[in-house]
Amino acid sequence: MHVACLDMEGVLVPEIWINVAEATGIDELRLTTRDISDYDELMGHRQRVMAERGLRLSTIKEVIADMGPMPGAVDFLDWLRGRWQLVILSDTFYDFADPLMAQMGRPTIFCHDLVVEGDRIVGYRLRLDDQKREAVRAFRRLNFTTLAAGDSYNDTRMLLEADYGALFRPPANVVAEFPQLPVAADYDALARLFEQAGARLEGR
């Protein structure tokens, strides 16, 4: 039995923090895991900026409410669910992800929790350090074969841990650093890669 493990932002939905930066005019929030590989460093930067600029959780949620899946994402998820089990492994937070999951048929998602005081984000609680790779590792220990796709630095350990991993629309710097990972430029290409990999895994 295969389990397909997908990142969320950059694979199924646009980058939340980039949309927040554009909606609020706070350019310092444009940085993502495509730019900074250390997640604690990235979140520390975001928390400092939010505190300095007085950005509230409710404002971020308003931005997210106007977002939706990327074109073709829902059809791709339906295609996947018709073949294998599906889990979203994301470094976002349930407060952010919930309205987006509702638009995609509520796939299972493993992500993190925010620490909120009043209407301000004051911290976060990781589900587990390196949770994407650890989730894939756990699925493999349960004798599932794993297919994975992501776009950023924080996905690469998951992709390398999986029985098959591919990058989806990654930036050039990630492609250059991980030339061993195949690259898909659209959902049709990713579906072909997954279908071919699934057939090989079943036949091994």
Instruction: Tell me the C-alpha distance between 70 and 91, whole Å.
Output: 18
Q: Is 163 annotated as a binding residue?
A: no
pLDDT for res 144? 95
Instruction: Tell me the C-alpha distance between 144 and 1, whole Å.
Output: 5
Topology of domain 16-65, per CATH?
thrh gene product, domain 2 (3.90.1470)
Q: Give the chain's residues under pLDDT 50.
A: none
Q: Is 46 annotated as a binding residue?
A: yes
List every span in the chain annotated with CATH 3.90.1470.10. Answer: 16-65
Topology of domain 2-13+70-203, per CATH?
Rossmann fold (3.40.50)
pLDDT for res 204? 63
Q: Is 7 annotated as a binding residue?
A: yes
Residue entry with tokens 């992709």: 159
Q: What is the pTM of this model?
A: 0.90
Instruction: Tell me the C-alpha distance between 8 and 95, whole Å.
Output: 14
pLDDT for res 17? 92
Residue numbers annotated as active site: 7, 9
Q: Is 151 annotated as a binding residue?
A: yes
List every span in the chain annotated with CATH 3.40.50.1000. Answer: 2-13+70-203
In angstroms, the first-to-last Cα distance of the chain is 13
